[in-house]
């Protein structure tokens, strides 16, 4: 039974509570969705590796969590004369690949798969609060030990820590990606977490809140692991859910890794 | 001759081209500006160390570049019940310190002191374009050598690099702080820089542009040194300008350093 890419996307959207959303960044970014679907690549970003993997695999749909063209709304007017943009679009179009973003809808399938994916990778599925899975209670670890655990379990090269490395951590908030800074800080304030593990921050927001907290006698910790590192477990976690909705289509995950060299 | 804090602030603002601005984040964030000024602390952020230094020094004005309360507009409604906020405000008020932000006005004194400060620290004052000082031409260095140079000259612990470490870099763009990502990327596109040195990025914007550029055969580099690290040279650089306007007031710089431990 043949299925177009558009039909596959519609099938996914139909399974999301409250969908379709009138306003969403989850649109087709490139390619012709009327063609028959072959296979699917799921990736955090449309990296060169993800496109190459799609070509090798014969997959013609890349489902990506983040933008394709370096800005949240994937606006391209300002990019028209950039050779990077021209070459990326050409590569996608010449290979008849369709890019569809799965961001707002992904986060709207409860429980949030990016939190569940992290809990799974950290082996904390039974430590999470059933009502608020982004809050976990663990056997006390120092902030340094906790950082080592996160780094080792997720296979990361480098993470950033703010706070006293000897701080005992029991109540852990996990906020993958880059949620609003107010939410990050409220986890440490109202929600009473000892430490927040998150993907990305602004250097005038949550990291300074934590630095001030420590200076002012309130012990708090922050572990910043990188945006991709914090959400890729969730993209792996959602694949069985996608497979259930699209049983006839093979789905492959391609990691975006990290572009950063730490010197 | 006595001078109030408000008069000192007004004197600074009067020296900025086009000032006062109808809309600006450069407002008083805490304290009573009608009191007579003693001494001034200039800092990137109002860290605990900056407040303590003010107390020890008997300074009652902290001129800060970034927010005091962890968000760009220094809104505090959402922070009311946060002990960190309460304790920080109490510490400032009990010590009768005034906090004034010097952000929009600082960047409006030409040439931008944050660019000039970086050029000075990197010993590139004669390499910069007179018309566009954020663009420099240097004797070729590999991207790795350039990173080492920046790290050593600025005395940094850790920096992040994206791109081929052997890339020869001659045309360098310097954008301190966290300018709009479009501007960061335009330096590498339209402006033709080989490498951008900047303070902070979003992990779905400039770093991915550079990763894609390299993948698609266009050699570009990115060096991310941290927001404070990139703007503190400019805060040091502006002090003689401030001293000229306020010759009777002692002005001291306090570094904000970095809150990050890299694991």
Q: Contact B222/B161 with Cβ under 8 angstroms?
A: yes
- Give backbone dihedrals phi and psi of A180, rounded to 5 degrees, phi first: -50, 140
For residue A209, which residues of chain B lie inside 8 Å, CB to CB? 70, 84
Structure tokens at A36: 């028959």
263 residues of chain B, pLDDT tens digit each: 689 999 999 999 999 999 999 999 999 999 999 999 999 999 999 999 999 999 999 999 999 999 999 999 999 999 999 999 999 999 999 999 999 999 999 999 999 999 999 999 999 999 999 999 999 999 999 999 999 999 999 999 999 999 999 999 999 999 999 999 999 999 999 889 999 999 999 999 999 999 999 999 999 999 999 999 999 999 999 999 999 999 999 999 999 999 999 99
Q: What is the average per-residue pLDDT within A142-159? A: 98
Best residue in A81, A216, A218, A222 to probe B by mutation, most B CBs within 10 Å? A216
* CA–CA dist A225, A230 (Å, integer): 6
CB atoms B48 and A215 under 8 Å = yes
**Residues contacting residue B193 through CB under 8 Å, at least 6 positions apart:** B135, B171, B172, B173, B187, B220
Structure tokens at A74: 């994937």
CB contact under 8 Å between A260 and B160, yes or no, is yes
- Are the C-beta atoms of residues B224 and A226 closer than 8 Å to each other? no
Residues 6+ apart with CB under 8 A from A250: A39, A40, A59
- pLDDT in the model for residue B191: 81
Q: Do A204 and B72 touch (CB under 8 A)?
A: yes
Decide if the complex's ipTM is over 0.90.
yes
Task: Please compute, for residue B193, the number of CA atoms within 13 A of its CA located in the half-sphere on the CB side.
Answer: 29
Residues of A with Cβ-Cβ distance to B146 under 8 angstroms: none
What's residue B190's pLDDT? 82
Query: Does residue B7 sit in helix, strand or coil?
Result: helix
A210: which chain B residues are within 8 Å (Cβ-Cβ)?
A: 259
Distance, in Å, from the CA atom of A72 to the CA atom of A65, rounded to the nearest integer, reads: 11
Residue B74, chain A, CB below 8 Å: the answer is no
Query: What whole-number distance in Å separates Cα of residue B102 and Cα of residue B95?
Result: 21
What pLDDT is stored for residue A190 in this prediction? 83
Task: Look at residue A1 and tell me whether its pLDDT is greater than 80.
Answer: no
Q: Is the Cβ pair A84, B45 closer than 8 Å?
A: no
Q: Is B86 touching A (CB cutoff 8 A)? A: no
Residue A189: how many CB atoms within 10 A of its CB?
A: 21
Nearest residue to A101 (alpha-carbon basis) of A31, A202, A175, A54 = A31
DSSP conformation class of B115: H
Chain B residues in contact with A211 by the CB 8 A cut-off are 47-48, 259
Instruction: Compute, in degrees rounded to 10, the torsion defined by CA atoms A146, A149, A155, A160.
Output: 20
- Sheet strand arrangement including B40-43: B28-30, B98-101, B61-64, B40-43, B251-254
pLDDT of residue B220: 97
Q: Are B128 and B135 in contact (CB under 8 A)?
A: yes
CA atoms within 13 Å, Cβ hemisphere of B190: 9
pLDDT at site B1: 65
How many interface pairs between A and B have CB atoms less than 8 angstroms apart?
Answer: 173
pLDDT tens digits for range A185-243: 999 998 899 999 999 999 999 999 999 999 999 999 999 999 999 999 999 999 999 99
Chain A residues touching B215 at Cβ < 8 A: 47-49
Dihedral (CA of B66, A159, A142, A135) sign: positive
Closest CA relative to residue B146, chosen from B128, B126, B127, B168: B168
- Asked whether the beta carbons of residue A260 and residue B72 sit closer than 8 angstroms, the reply is no
Query: Within 10 Å of residue A133's Cβ, how many Cβ atoms?
Result: 19
Residue A254 backbone zone (phi > 0: left; psi -120 to 50: alpha; other: beta): beta
The residue among B124, B178, B87, B156 whose CA lies nearest residue A211 is B87
Among A81, A212, A217, select the one facing B189 at the smallest CB separation: A81
The C-alpha atoms of residue A95 and residue A61 are separated, in whole angstroms, by 11
List the beta bridge partners of residue A4.
A36
Query: Does this model's pTM top 0.90?
Result: yes
What is the DSSP track for A141-153?
A: EEHHHHHHHHHHH
Q: Among B160, B207, B212, which would you mutate to test the A interface (most chain A Cβ atoms within 10 Å of its Cβ)?
A: B212
What is the rounded CA–CA span in Å between residue B125 and residue B139?
14
């Amino acid at each position: 039974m043949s299925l177009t890419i558009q039909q596959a996307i519609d099938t996914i959207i139909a399974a999301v509570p409250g969908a379709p959303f009138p306003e969403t960044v989850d649109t087709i970014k490139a390619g012709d969705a009327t063609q028959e679907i072959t296979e699917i690549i799921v990736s955090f970003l449309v990296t060169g590796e993800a496109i190459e993997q799609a070509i090798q695999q014969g997959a013609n749909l890349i489902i990506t969590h983040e933008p394709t063209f370096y800005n949240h709304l994937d606006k391209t007017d300002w990019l028209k004369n950039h050779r990077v943009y021209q070459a990326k679009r050409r590569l996608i179009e010449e290979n008849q690949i369709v890019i569809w973003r799965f961001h707002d809808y992904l986060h709207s399938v409860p429980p949030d798969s990016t939190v569940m994916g992290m809990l799974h990778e950290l082996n904390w599925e039974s430590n999470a609060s059933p009502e608020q899975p982004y809050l976990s209670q663990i056997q006390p670890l120092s902030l340094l030990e906790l950082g080592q655990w996160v780094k080792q379990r997720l296979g990361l090269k480098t993470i950033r820590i703010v706070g006293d490395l000897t701080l005992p951590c029991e109540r852990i908030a996990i906020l993958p990606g880059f949620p609003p800074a107010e939410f990050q800080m409220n986890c440490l304030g109202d929600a009473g977490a000892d430490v927040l593990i998150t993907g990305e921050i602004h250097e005038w927001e949550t990291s300074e809140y934590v630095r001030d907290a420590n200076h002012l006698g309130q012990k708090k910790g922050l572990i910043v692991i990188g945006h991709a590192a914090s959400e890729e477990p969730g993209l792996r976690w959602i694949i069985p859910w996608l497979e259930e909705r699209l049983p006839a289509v093979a789905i492959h995950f391609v990691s975006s890794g990290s572009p950063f060299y730490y010197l």
